[in-house]
Amino acid sequence: MKTPSSLLLTAAIAAASSAALAGERVGDFALIDHQGAFQSMAWHDDHAAIAILPQAVGATDAASLATMQALQSKYATQGIEFFLLNPGLQTDRAAVAADIAGVDMPVLMDDTQLVSEMLGLTRLDEALLYDPSSFELLYRGSADGIEAAIERTLAGESFDLVSTATMGKPIDYRNVDVHADLSYANDIAPIIAENCAECHREGGIAPFAMDNSLAVQGWSPMIREVVMTKRMPPGQIDNKISHKMKNEMNLSDDEMQMLVRWINNGSVVEGNEDPLTALVWPEGKWSLGEPDLIVKVPAQSIPATGVVDYMDLPIDLGLTEDRWVRGSEVAPGDPTVLHHIITTVVPPEGAPDFQKILMDILNDLPAEKAATVRTQIFAAVAAGKQPDIGAIFEAVPEIDVSAFLGGGTDPNMASIAGYAPGNAVSLNPEGVGGLLRAGTSLNLQMHYTTSGKEAVDETEIGIYFYPEGYVPEERMGGGVGNAFSIAIPAGAKDHEMQLVTLVPEEAEIYSMMPHMHFRGKRMSFKAQYPDGSEEMLLSVPAYSFNWQLAHELEEPVRVPAGTKIIATGAFDNSAQNDFNPDPNSEVNWGEQSWEEMFMGFYTWKNLNQTGSE
């Protein structure tokens, strides 16, 4: 039974939605559906309208659903998209999937109930028609009445929102009482401090500071918009199905509710207490403290416009004795132009002989598989062609791609941090490390993008050593999956690909990182165990090229030898992708941002460390 406060909320939503009844814009939003897909309403603006009906396990209005299914059959090919929406009544996606078995409509999971509130939904039989271009409601009422609004929309008519009364089961909204009188100092400022202020501060990487109550009030409409569309915090994962991540950036459902409801209620600041003004940030450029060794990258002059070719810069570390590395960090000189650095450790004897590495790998493979690879290589060479490396790696996942992308196969060799937005630090757990031998150097692949004005980048790399004489007991390893064969059709909205990376020994997985370029849309990582069972490790449903994040597991996941990490992702090469340089072209593998890559980077630690001596 609904509480009196819930009844008041229902009335309040109905009253608040009266503005929408006059045709006012309700706003954009994005939700993850019950199948784990990211659904942004703005992405669907190539449709004339979106039809939505509430869904609840065991309580969906059957007659309304049947009507919407009939309308979907009639109008889906005419530019009308159809969704169901669970207004936070259940969060169990498996239960939702079972409840709508046989229904071909994604269920938008509104776990916070904020979208349902914004749309003014009060009952489970209320159908909505929403314009994804103007973010306006066109219709709210019974499913039987929505067809007329659909026809008028398809005819290009302009009309005020049509509203009809329904008598279905009321939607119960939660946390209303506790959010009725939120405190800026006690409720809102801590959310900003924990999730936003590190970037949104003086000298931070964000474009404006939120370091006091006046700034938060001033930016509150923008804060509401980016939270409702899930653009901020950045690099969000699907934390309803993923393992818990140490560096997770998501707001919790309660935090989102408090923040948006406080803004909806006028962003009121009470009293003079302002916790944001008391925040203190570490001085200097190094988040891990002053490094033991600072590597200065030669200054690079970047033009205002045009394409800057990839640079490969050799760097002599000047080491005269062997040192064990605990961690490293990149301090970008000018992050407005530095897009990424790939750091390769080069041993004193020089870069590895990749042909020898391949031959050694083939010698370790079962004879039948090794023969298959050799046949492919020799056939390609005999035809005067390059071997199809992608096909070889796909057919034989035992081949460690990372041996070809990094510094070879020495298990003791240290790795040094690279750089991409949001990813600049590499820190091993205590007692885990890698070796930099005397005479070791680095090779830096530097990728710059122009920003509209000339710039000079003076990046530095900080390296943190264990004390002299101390030898860490364990080594961190890992792997790389890389699809060398990519062919994304022009206009493709969801071109799916898959990578398989083998974990050859029993290990603990520490992190996963997807890598694609402008057309990257989504990527998830499953562990497929030798017995055939599978487990979802991480899902990134809204991949962003602007945030190249290595997602660190809060607790390492132990996997048996022979486990396969299956990375499944997709590209959006359509005009709906605002970052797409050219939706009319097929896209292939390449290093430049307008070309594409499909990669997964993994760190894991073998449980048997005897091979690291």
Which CATH number characterizes residue 447's domain?
2.60.120.230
How far is 347 from 527, CA to CA, in rounded Å?
Answer: 33
Q: Which residues pair with 427 in a beta bridge?
A: 327
Q: Quote the pLDDT of residue 400.
A: 63
208 plus 137 within the same structural domain: no
547 plus 481 within the same structural domain: yes
Reference 91, options 253, 251, 256, 255; nearest CA is 253
Is the alpha carbon torsion for 168, 11, 146, 226 positive or negative? negative
Q: Quote the pLDDT of residue 20.
A: 42
Spell out the residues 6+ positions from residue 416 whose beta carbon is closer than 8 angstroms to its own.
325, 328, 343, 345, 426, 442, 461, 463
Q: Does residue 375 surpass a pLDDT of 90?
A: no
Q: Which residue has the higher pLDDT, 236 or 275?
A: 275
19 plus 150 within the same structural domain: yes
Q: Quote the pLDDT of residue 393.
A: 66
With left for phi above 0 and alpha for psi between -120 and 50, is residue 124 left, alpha or beta? alpha
Q: Which residue has the higher pLDDT, 3 or 358?
A: 358
Q: What is the mean pLDDT of the chain?
A: 89
488 plus 537 within the same structural domain: yes
Domain count, the chain: 4
Region 159-165: mean pLDDT is 91
How far is 414 from 437, CA to CA, in rounded Å?
Answer: 9
Query: Where residue 123 sits, what CATH number does that domain have?
Result: 3.40.30.10
307 plus 437 within the same structural domain: yes
155 plus 192 within the same structural domain: no
47 plus 87 within the same structural domain: yes
253 plus 145 within the same structural domain: no
Say if residues 213 and 269 touch (Cβ distance below 8 Å): yes
Spell out the residues 6+ positions from residue 239 whose beta carbon is closer than 8 angstroms to its own.
245, 248, 250
Output the CA–CA distances (angstroms, integers) from residue 194 to 124, 210, 226, 536, in the order listed.
Answer: 36, 12, 17, 27
Is 174 among the domain residues?
no
Is 227 among the domain residues?
yes
Is 494 among the domain residues?
yes
For 152, the 3-state DSSP assignment is helix
Region 374-387: mean pLDDT is 67
Is 172 among the domain residues?
no
Looking at 133, 163, 193, the residue that finishes a domain is 163
490 plus 420 within the same structural domain: no
Region 514-538: mean pLDDT is 97
Region 259-278: mean pLDDT is 95
Q: Does residue 468 surpass a pLDDT of 80?
A: yes
pLDDT over 70 percentage in the chain:
88
211 plus 305 within the same structural domain: no
H/E run at residue 389 = helix 389-395
Is 380 among the domain residues?
no
Q: Quote the pLDDT of residue 193.
A: 97
How far is 109 from 85, CA to CA, in rounded Å?
Answer: 6
Find the domain containing 412 and state its range: 293-352+406-465
Q: Quote the pLDDT of residue 171.
A: 96
249 plus 140 within the same structural domain: no
Region 388-408: mean pLDDT is 62
461 plus 490 within the same structural domain: no
Region 547-570: mean pLDDT is 95
Q: Quote the pLDDT of residue 611.
A: 56
pLDDT in tens, 188-237: 999 999 999 998 998 787 889 999 999 999 999 999 999 999 999 988 89
Residue keyed to tokens 């757990």: 429
Is 168 among the domain residues?
no
Q: Quote the pLDDT of residue 576.
A: 97
Looking at 252, 278, 304, the residue that finishes a domain is 278
Is 127 among the domain residues?
yes
Reference 77, options 135, 131, 143, 150; nearest CA is 150
Q: Quote the pLDDT of residue 13.
A: 39
Q: Does residue 562 surpass a pLDDT of 90?
A: yes
Say if residues 319 and 334 touch (Cβ distance below 8 Å): no
Is 176 among the domain residues?
no
Looking at 222, 250, 278, the residue that finishes a domain is 278
